[in-house]
Chains A and B, each alone.
Chain A
């Protein structure tokens, strides 16, 4: 067995375990962390396929940003596990059908007969081949219009999300940092010039109780 094959099986085993953990863990935070592990091992598998750009971007985007926000939300939710499991059996048939459908689709693609997965080029690339550079070249030359279109759609999505969730109440109070920072000393403190006044020395008090 080649070493890369060995690495593949180790990573695949960890990934399957993590994926199982994601759907069986009782604690949602544990489930999210298992999903992080699954992403990590998936990145490792892609690295084995010499897709280093995709592998690193998977970690950067999904592990580094998306799952952090996911955890952020999951940790703050007050999830009642008993209520979640309450209607498990009534949802089971629907879930099973969707699961089987996904397995069938995957089998269809991976068996390679209809989608040409077998016709993909082999892994042998020249030594100086840079995945990142090739991908960038393709994105910005051949596919530049679809790429720009996708970015515009994403921008619309961002603005829509902000507009839908941004609600401000009329009676809430804000601090405006730009105004606070722009404050000058003269706005807050007034220096008053005063003459020094010399008090008359008070007459020495009567000394009592000799």
Chain B
């Protein structure tokens, strides 16, 4: 890919006969330019996805409620995200007079930044990854654990009761579910014997069923089914989505940490929430659903499989929201600490014993 684009540049500048004079200094800039090009090619689809996910959310939930959903702006309401974005962009960003101004502005930025940084290690297809590092999973855990700061800082800096309550709830909830998520990932690491996300996907393409051309049956979600469910549900809780959205529970604390925000500052929280949803879907697909692998042998592997899996998982997110009533706060804590963490411990033990036994299927 890199050579292809370089060749294109060479052809383009050779049209003007300038390549030989440009190359001596261009070769020093090229690694940086190539990195930026790749970052842009990840971020632009991501931002587009983040813009259109709320539209699909409204449509999907509307169909589940036997309504029509947004249909006024453009054909089928397809320009609705653009209209919403423009509206938010032109609204004034109000800063409450008693708020801590610097941290008030800083909060939404901290919420969004980790949601974007984490994409550096996500592989989209074999070799299609920005940073193919060996400690990829650790990096992800570290970066996603920073996201909670955006909520705490904005909740505190707003200097108001409801945002503060939202911040407290967010802290407790996100730390609790991070543990369950980390434990679920430990099982994946044990069976795939690597911290590199690409290696984790490749490890799911090995085994008896993969050799028979049924890669579907060798994906992690079958031997690690409890961990798959724990990870998926913890992912919903970690992104503060319904039915675990007590952080912004409208009926109790209005909108939690987002109450005092307006305009683009509010939009940043929105972007962060949906970017995190997409990220968790990608990670679930990579850890448990075989990433870019095709489910059957006669179809080629590729990024479209990952896209299909992620779309299904995102649909599940919307489906949950339309289906389940909101959990009570103590029930959320109970589910995290008293149900998921013990299940994870038990399954780590099961997988450990399984790997040491003669029935080991991961060799």
Alpha-carbon distance between A132 and B171 when the two chains are bound, in angstroms: 29
Check B168–A68 contact: CB distance below 8 A.
Answer: no
Q: Is the CB of B145 within 8 A of A60?
A: yes
Please determine whether B149 and A36 come into contact, CB atoms closer than 8 angstroms. Answer: yes
Closest to A27 in B: B100
Total residues of chain B contacting the partner, CB 8 A? 26
The reply to whether B156 and A65 contact each other, CB–CB distance below 8 Å, is: no
User: Which of chain A's residues have a CB closer than 8 A to the CB of B164?
Assistant: 75
Contact A72 B146 (CB under 8 A): no
Q: Is there an interface contact between A59 and B142, defined as CB atoms closer than 8 Å?
A: yes
CB proximity of B217 to chain A, nearest CB, Å: 29
Provide the bound-state CA to CA distance between A75 and B152, in Å.
Answer: 9
Asked whether, in the complex, the Cβ of A75 is within 8 Å of the Cβ of B146, the reply is no
CB contacts (< 8 Å) of B195 on chain A: these are 132
Instruction: Say yes or no: A33-B153 contact (C-beta < 8 A), given A68-B148, A72-B168, A177-B330.
Output: yes
A69 at the interface (CB under 8 A from B): yes
Question: CA separation between A57 and B145, bound complex, in Å?
Answer: 11
Decide if A177 touches B331 in the complex (CB within 8 Å): yes
In this complex, what residue of B is CB-closest to A181?
B331
* Closest CB in chain B relative to A65 CB, distance in Å: 6
Are A132 and B152 closer than 8 Å at their CB atoms? no
B334 interface hit (Cβ, 8 Å)? yes
CB atoms of A64 and B171 under 8 A apart? no
Asked if A71 lies at the interface with its beta carbon under 8 angstroms from chain B, I say: yes
Candidates A57, A132, A175; contact of B134 at CB < 8 Å:
A132
The answer on a CB contact under 8 Å between A68 and B331 is: no
- A29-70 contacts to B (CB < 8 Å): 29-30, 33, 36, 52-53, 56-57, 59-60, 63-65, 68-69
Check B168 against A64 for contact (C-beta < 8 Å).
no
**Nearest CB on B from A123, distance (A):** 17
C-alpha gap A165/B16 in the complex (Å): 77
For B141, list chain A residues within 8 Å (CB).
56, 60, 64
A68 to B178, CA, bound (A): 13
The smallest beta-carbon distance between A161 and chain B, in angstroms, is 15
Q: Does B86 contact A (CB under 8 A)?
A: no
At the interface, is chain B mostly helix, strand, loop or mixed? Answer: helix
CB-defined contacts of B334 to chain A, threshold 8 Å: 177
Asked if A111 is an interface residue, CB under 8 A from chain B, the answer is: no
Q: Which residue of B lies closest to A71 (CB)?
A: B152
Number of A-B contacts (CB under 8 A): 69
Q: A29-B156, A72-B152, A175-B330 are in contact. Are A56 and B138 (CB under 8 A)?
A: yes
> Considering only CB atoms, which chain A residue lies closest to B195 in the complex?
A132
Q: Name the A residues within 8 Å of B138 (CB-CB).
A: 53, 56-57, 60, 132
Which residues of chain A (126-182) have a CB below 8 Å from chain B? Answer: 130-133, 175, 177
A177 to B143, alpha carbons, bound, how many Å? 33
* Across-interface contacts of B153 in A (CB, < 8 A): 33
* Interface majority SS (helix, strand, loop, mixed), chain A: helix
Q: Known interface pairs A72-B152, A75-B156, A132-B195. Does A65 touch B134 (Cβ–Cβ under 8 Å)?
A: no
Q: What chain B residues lie within 8 Å of A175 (beta carbons)? A: 330
Please classify how large the interface on chain A is, using the bins under 10, 10 to 19, 20 to 34, 35 or more: 20 to 34
Closest beta carbon of chain A to B184's beta carbon, Å: 16
B47 on the A face (CB < 8 A): no
Among residues 71 to 92 in chain A, which have CB atoms less than 8 Å away from a CB atom of chain B?
71-72, 75-76
The minimal Cβ–Cβ distance linking A179 to chain B, given in whole angstroms, is 12
Q: How far is the CA of A34 from the CA of B279 in the complex (A)?
A: 28
Residues of B within 8 A of A76 (CB): 168
Cross-chain contact A64 with B145 (CB below 8 angstroms)? yes
A81 to chain B, nearest CB (A): 15
Instruction: Report whether B134 and A63 are in contact in the complex, using a CB–CB cutoff of 8 Å.
Output: no
Question: B175 and A68: CB pair below 8 A?
Answer: yes
- What 1/0 flags go to A175-192 for Cβ under 8 Å of B? 101000000000000000
CA separation between A63 and B171, bound complex, in Å?
13
Bound-state CA distance A14–B103 (Å) is: 18
Contact between chains at B135 and A132 (CB < 8 Å): yes
Once bound together, how far apart are the Cα atoms of A70 and B109, in whole Å?
A: 21
- Complexed CA–CA distance, A21 and B149 (Å): 18
**Quick one: which of B135, B143, B148, B330 contacts A52, CB cutoff 8 A?**
B135
Interface residues of B in 78-134 (CB under 8 A from A): 103, 133-134
Would A60 and B142 count as touching, CB distance under 8 A? yes
Tell me which of A30, A60, A72 contacts B171 (CB under 8 A). A72
Q: Encode B195-213 as 1/0 by CB contact (under 8 A) with A.
A: 1000000000000000000
Q: How far is the CA of A72 from the CA of B167 in the complex (A)?
A: 9
Q: A56-B142, A60-B141, A60-B142 are in contact. Are A69 and B135 (CB under 8 A)?
A: no
- Seen from chain B, the residues whose Cβ lies within 8 Å of a Cβ on chain A are 103, 133-135, 138-139, 141-143, 145-146, 148-149, 152-153, 156, 164, 167-168, 171, 175, 178, 195, 330-331, 334
| 21 A-B pairs (CB sep. < 8 Å) | A29-B156, A33-B103, A33-B153, A52-B133, A52-B135, A56-B139, A57-B142, A59-B142, A60-B145, A63-B142, A63-B146, A64-B142, A64-B148, A68-B148, A68-B175, A69-B171, A69-B175, A71-B171, A72-B168, A76-B168, A130-B135
| Given A60-B145, A68-B149, A132-B135, 5 extra CB contacts under 8 A | A56-B139, A57-B142, A60-B138, A69-B171, A175-B330
